[in-house]
Amino acid sequence: MTFTFSIPTSTGPMEFEVQAGTSLYFVGANGGGKTRLAVMIEEMVGENAHRISAHRALSLNPEVPKVSQDTAARGLRYGYAGQGATLGNRFGNRWGGKAAVQLLNDYDFLLQVLFAEQSNTSLQTHKNARAGLNKEAISTKFEKLNEIWGRLLPHRRLDISGDNIKVFASESDEGYPAHEMSDGERATFYLIGQTLAAAPNSLIIFDEPELHIHRSILARLWDELEAARPDCGIVVISHDLEFVASREGQKFVIQDYSPSKGWTVEAVPENTGFAENVVSLILGSRRAVLFVEGDASSLDQAIYRACYPNWTVISRGSCEEVIHAVITMRANPSLTRVTCAGVVDADAYDPSEITFFKSKGIEVLPVAEIENLFLIPEVVKAIAQNEGYDGAELDRLLDQIMNDLFLHASDANNQLSSVMRYCRRRIDRTLKKIDLSDAKDVGSLVLDYATKTSSLDVNSLAQIITSEIQSAISQKNCYKLLKWYDNKGILSIAAKAKGATKANFEQWLLRSLRNGKAIPVANAIKKILPNIKAA
């Protein structure tokens, strides 16, 4: 069976097709009209649509009154279980006249369907056995649910009787009532049950199915649900980029929604050079994209998000990955409508490299690495003032921190470590630029390699950085020192402005920059960072 619907957009209707046994995914940020899209798809598909709202109650009561299977099915599909209930009842009864915002409270109807189906199926099996028909027993929906549950949550065992449900720890004989399940357990039970209880040949529409479900089982849960209903098509509308990127199927990004113009929807392109979750994030962003070093849990992302609030900040790990991301995105026709730029640590780049980066939209920090920003005097002062330091006391603290910084850099071992890291980076960059593909034999390969590495004078590199560091120390020039000297240990010196350990200081920075509680600190950093315009 094939399900079709169209979505109104500013450029005209956009047609969609979902075949039975396949899934279609939409991903978008909050406020992008995801739920209204789910409502519209349900209305277009009509009788064959079964929508699971993002606004859903998860109160599980296995002692719900047991009713006939037909009665329970009408209640589940239309919100009204009375005789003669039809599709016309769905809007007013299931959705309370507010299809986009009504809390879906159908767990009782779902359980009634499952208990009634279990009773009827078991009775038929019993009759077949008594009649000596030797027919194989048909699995009930509860049995199928229990099998899926066991594969997803082996540490919790369900005991489903004819009129009740209990839960047991895998190795325990002591159970507890199903209504005492955790939110995640009840949500998992609910989604499996809804999938199994949907009418044959339905289009099942899941709005934000990831709610309450632990990410470790979400993909496996979806594998199970898709396999359980090959007769149905599935539409998933989510804001979980990682989950959607992990799935097979058609994928689209919801960029925006306007009641008068409809949705702005774009297919997730393939072969962009980015992972699908990054492509989806780029396409779904309402802001320009800034690629930075580090990862989602690093100081880099917290700093850049606080200091570049008009950009969507995406961490790419290393400097090389930032450069590759900017160049790739700017060269990709399907992504060029989105403005992008990059920021990398100074990392001892020479002027010609910095000029090249700028030509590609990549700015270079004025310090060797991001942690060094917190030793810039203006930033140290902002942190100290945030802690109540003022006047002469503030001046003494600043002097102490600067002196500690120069003493740290004067240590022979610390200085040698910084020199070695600088030399290794320069060697690594040089080797990565060497192209030896023209060599036809070993002899020419050896010659080509020797020629192209002959300009690499390691002693000269070591002398350059040693001279720069020692010069900065003798001049007491902390700005120059922080441009060349990289040592993550100096963050413990900056932590003295707060009277904290390095670990506690990092936690405070991450927390304060993310929740906007360190605005003076962010403002001080902004003045140091490159001025990047999202034009």
133 burial via Cβ count (<10 Å: 0-12, 13-18, 19+): exposed
Residue 336 has a pLDDT of 62
Which residues, in sequence order, are bridge partners of residue 251?
25
* d(C-alpha 281, C-alpha 6), whole Å: 24
Distance (Å) of CA 297 to CA 27, 29, 300, 510:
23, 21, 8, 8
Q: Which of 98, 78, 99 is nearest to 88 (CA)?
A: 78
Cα–Cα dist 175/159, whole Å: 9
Cα–Cα distance between 50 and 232 in angstroms, integer?
Answer: 10
Q: Tell me whether strands 262-267 and 250-258 are parallel, antiparallel or unpaired.
A: antiparallel
pLDDT at 519: 86
Q: How many whole angstroms separate alpha carbon 396 and alpha carbon 393?
A: 5
Q: What is the pLDDT of residue 273?
A: 67
Helix (H) or strand (E) holding 319: helix 319-331
pLDDT in tens, 236-265: 999 888 888 888 888 888 888 888 889 988
Residues of the chain with pLDDT under 50: none
> 3-state DSSP call for residue 121?
helix
Q: Which amino acid is at 143?
A: E
The token pair that represents 403 in the structure block: 């002196």
- Alpha-carbon gap, residue 415 to 469, rounded angstroms: 8
Give dist(CA 152, CA 218) in Å, integer.
9
- Residue that has been written with the tokens 């109650």 in this structure: 57
pTM: 0.70
Mind spelling out the 3-state secondary structure of 345-410?
A: CCCCCCHHHHHHHHHCCEEECCCCCHHHHHHCHHHHHHHHHHCCCCHHHHHHHHHHHHHHHHHHHH
Q: Are 36 and 100 in contact (CB under 8 A)?
A: yes
Which position has the token pair 């005209």?
12
Strand partners, 317: 294
